[in-house]
């Protein structure tokens, strides 16, 4: 369990994280989403004591990270996969970490197998691909068999098989009752992996809910209508809160009316409908809608 209360981090005049309060619960996968610079990494660094909060506090399993006597058994974190001594082999890197906690060689072998690193375990980390580095970072995070696992962008650099592997691994870890907190930019990936999401924008929480609620909560439902009398129907549907986009073939994309309202209105006016389809927004659309005002580095549309 991770509990943050009124957590803020300022770097000089820059507020990276602004008074956030949240709980990451055991037994579910919680995704941490947000545009670049939203404050995800800063928050994760504060959770594991690598950054000191300017105000507020964060605890893991009831205590600040640094107050745990054997932190690797409490929290396993992958924060920067490149933060490894590149001259060491993967196995020696894990053995060195294990030695700090009296963790035996057999557990090192176990995490090497679990992360599919057997064939490269005796190779120097300096020559690793990004994907291998990610696997090694995950192996290190799991070394102490921790109750809480924090992974910053774990699928970054992984091939499709690796992405699937991470998804299955985190779901498995949650099913064992662990607290799993992972950040990602890949909304589609999160939709298939996380049960719950916390969305950060400009250092503030803009959503903290089950993933299905986030999708349905922010998206105004769109209805696709096709009719040989599209123009007449569009006139009838027009209202201040209603947006209608017309396209070829008598198709209207209507936002602001339920499909039942559109169907009833068409029937009452003797207008035939050839199609009436309610469209649900994807997680990607929901995310873009949520973070539209919170994107720090917006890419202007090319004219």
Ligand X SMILES: Nc1ncnc2c1ncn2[C@@H]1O[C@H](COP(=O)(O)OP(=O)(O)OP(=O)(O)O)[C@@H](O)[C@H]1O
From candidates 8, 18, 30, 42, binder to ligand X by CB under 6 A: 42
* Residue number with CB closer to ligand X (184 or 227): 184
Q: CB–CB of 59/3 below 8 Å?
A: yes
Q: How far is CA 258 from CA 67, 114, 127, 179, 276, in A?
A: 54, 49, 57, 39, 10
* Residue number with CB closer to ligand X (150 or 266): 150
* 231 phi and psi angles, rounded to 5 deg: -65, -45
Min dist. Cβ of residue 130 to ligand X (A): 15
* Residue number with CB closer to ligand X (91 or 153): 153
In DSSP notation, 155-193 reads: TTT--HHHHHHHHHHHHHHHHTT-EEEEE-S-HHHHHHH
Residue 295 is classified by DSSP as -
Task: Pick the piece of the chain touching ligand X (CB under 6 A) from 9-17, 91-99, 129-137, 213-221.
Answer: 9-17
From candidates 4, 33, 40, 257, binder to ligand X by CB under 6 A: 40
* 206 phi and psi angles, rounded to 5 deg: -110, -10
From candidates 38, 72, 142, 286, binder to ligand X by CB under 6 A: 38
Residue whose token pair is 């009452």: 268
* Residue number with CB closer to ligand X (34 or 133): 34
* Residue number with CB closer to ligand X (37 or 76): 37
Per CB under 6 A, 135 contacts ligand X: no
Q: CB–CB of 139/103 below 8 Å?
A: no
3-class DSSP state for residue 194? coil
Min dist. Cβ of residue 74 to ligand X (A): 22
Cα Rg of the chain, angstroms: 24
Min dist. Cβ of residue 24 to ligand X (A): 16
Per CB under 6 A, 34 contacts ligand X: yes
From candidates 6, 11, 63, 272, binder to ligand X by CB under 6 A: 11
3-state DSSP percent of the chain in helix, strand and coil, to 5? 35, 25, 35
From candidates 2, 18, 37, 198, binder to ligand X by CB under 6 A: 37
Min dist. Cβ of residue 139 to ligand X (A): 22
* Residue number with CB closer to ligand X (146 or 203): 203
């Amino acid at each position: 369990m991770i509990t943050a209360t009124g957590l803020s981090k300022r770097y000089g005049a820059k507020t990276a994280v602004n008074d956030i309060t949240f709980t990451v619960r055991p037994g579910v996968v919680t995704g941490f989403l947000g545009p670049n610079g939203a404050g995800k990494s800063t928050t994760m660094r504060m959770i594991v004591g690598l950054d000191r909060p300017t105000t507020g506090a964060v605890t893991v399993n009831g205590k600040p990270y640094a107050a745990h006597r054997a932190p690797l058994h409490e929290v396993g974190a992958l924060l920067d996969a490149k933060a490894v001594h590149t001259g060491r082999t993967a196995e020696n890197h894990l053995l060195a970490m294990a030695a700090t906690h009296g963790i035996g060689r057999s557990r090192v072998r176990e995490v090497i197998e679990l992360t599919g690193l057997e064939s490269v375990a005796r190779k120097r980390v300096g020559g690793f691909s990004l994907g291998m580095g990610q696997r090694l970072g995950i192996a290190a995070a799991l070394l102490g068999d921790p109750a809480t696992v924090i992974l910053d962008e774990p699928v970054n650099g992984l091939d499709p098989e690796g992405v699937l592997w991470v998804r299955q691994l985190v779901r498995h870890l949650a099913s064992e009752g662990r607290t799993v907190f992972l950040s990602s930019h890949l909304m589609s990936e999160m939709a298939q992996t996380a049960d719950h999401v916390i969305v950060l924008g400009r250092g503030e929480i803009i959503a903290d809910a089950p993933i299905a609620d986030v999708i349905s909560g922010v998206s105004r439902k769109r209805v696709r209508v096709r009719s040989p009398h599209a123009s007449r129907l569009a006139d009838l549907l027009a209202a201040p809160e209603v947006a209608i986009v017309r396209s070829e073939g008598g198709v209207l994309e209507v936002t602001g009316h339920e499909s039942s309202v559109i169907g009833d209105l068409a029937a009452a006016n003797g207008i035939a409908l050839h199609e009436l389809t309610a469209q649900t927004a994807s997680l990607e659309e929901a995310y873009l809608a949520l973070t539209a005002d919170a994107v720090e580095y917006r890419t202007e549309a090319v004219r």
